[in-house]
Amino acid sequence: DTAVSQTPKYLVTQMGNDKSIKCEQNLGHDTMYWYKQDSKKFLKIMFSYNNKELIINETVPNRFSPKSPDKAHLNLHINSLELGDSAVYFCASSQGWKGASGANVLTFGAGSRLTVL
Amino acid sequence: GESVGLHLPTLSVQEGDNSIINCAYSNSASDYFIWYKQESGKGPQFIIDIRSNMDKRQGQRVTVLLNKTVKHLSLQIAATQPGDSAVYFCAGVIQGAQKLVFGQGTRLTINP
């Protein structure tokens, strides 16, 4: 069983369209995240949720809307896609924030490569 | 500000040699650091972690060294193998911010 699974793996779409990426974790973790990785491999956090509650929103445009129906799922919906949205989006999960401990270790999904034409 | 950065974007080593990947961090980064390995087409995978009350931690073929005086950590990989080819990231937990900040990444290439 894949610990953190995200779908789709590849997504090619036109500018202006709306698309969603889904993520599910079966690790029993309380916290889930979305990271964006650009063409230079830089990984930047976008959002984090703890037990369905939004914890971090890193000044991401409001075209991006995360939704967490339960603590095992965190989906990402993107409206009015722009060329600059092309990237690999990674979902991740962790046990939660408990000081300097292994609870902070993130387990990542395999990524969803979004290409906006 | 918060930052975790790497000294070199690429590193090439001969198979069987040891590799050292370096990372620097700023004042506001945390007391806990993690090294990740990302292979092509995959997500980052945990390698090893270290708390700031430690100077060194060893795993299987990997060692992480932490120098708090100069705010520097390194990942040493012993006897590199072709399977070690990947992008390596250091990441620091930002105190109080509940987030993991990643450095730029170093691409390690193993030459036969």
A107 domain-assigned? no
Output the pLDDT for position B1: 41
- Give CA torsion, residues B55, A103, B98, A45, to 10 deg: 90
Tens of pLDDT, residues B9-51 = 899 999 999 999 999 887 555 788 999 999 999 999 999 999 9
| pLDDT values of chain A reduced to their tens digit, one per residue, 117 residues | 679 999 999 999 999 999 999 999 999 999 999 999 998 899 999 999 998 889 888 878 999 999 999 999 999 999 999 999 999 999 999 987 766 676 778 999 999 999 999
Residues in A touching B33 (Cβ below 8 Å): none
Write the DSSP string, B49-64. EEETT-SEEE-SSEEE
Question: Measured between CB atoms, which of B31, B46, B104 is closest to A100?
Answer: B31
Q: Tens of pLDDT along B53-71?
A: 899 999 999 999 999 888 8
Domain that holds residue B94: 4-111
Angle at A43 between CA A41 and CA A45, to 5 degrees: 160
Number of domains chain A contains: 1
Over residues B100-105, the mean pLDDT reads 88
- Asked whether the predicted pLDDT for residue B90 surpasses 80, the reply is yes
Query: Are the Cβ atoms of A48 and B99 closer than 8 angstroms?
Result: yes
Q: Tell me how close the Cα of A24 comes to any Cα of chain B, in angstroms.
A: 15
User: CB contact, 8 Å: B39 with chain A?
Assistant: no
Q: Which residues of A touch B104 (CB under 8 A)?
A: 40-42
- Under an 8 A CB cutoff, do B43 and A102 touch? no
| Shortest Cα–Cα distance, B11 to chain A (Å) | 15
pLDDT the model gives residue A58: 87
Does residue A43 lie in a domain region? Answer: yes
- Is residue A72 included in any domain, yes or no? yes
Q: What CATH number is given to the structural domain containing A13?
A: 2.60.40.10
Phi, psi torsion values for A96, nearest 5 degrees: 140, 175
Task: Answer whether B98 sits within 8 Å of A56, measured CB to CB.
Answer: yes
Residue located via tokens 């990542």: A108
Is A111 inside any structural domain? no
Contact A83/B at CB under 8 A? no
Contacts of B46 in chain A (CB under 8 A): 105-107
- Whether the ω angle into residue A8 lies within 30 degrees of 0, i.e. cis, is yes
- CATH assignment at residue B99: 2.60.40.10
pLDDT category at B5 given cuts 50, 70, 90 is low
Q: How confident is residue B100, by pLDDT bands cut at 50, 70 and 90?
A: confident
Q: Number of structural domains, chain B?
A: 1
Residue A86 lies in a domain: yes
Question: Does residue A8 fall inside a structural domain?
Answer: yes
pLDDT in tens, A27-61: 999 999 999 999 889 999 999 999 888 988 887 89
Give the domain range for residue A18. 4-97
| A108 within domain boundaries | no
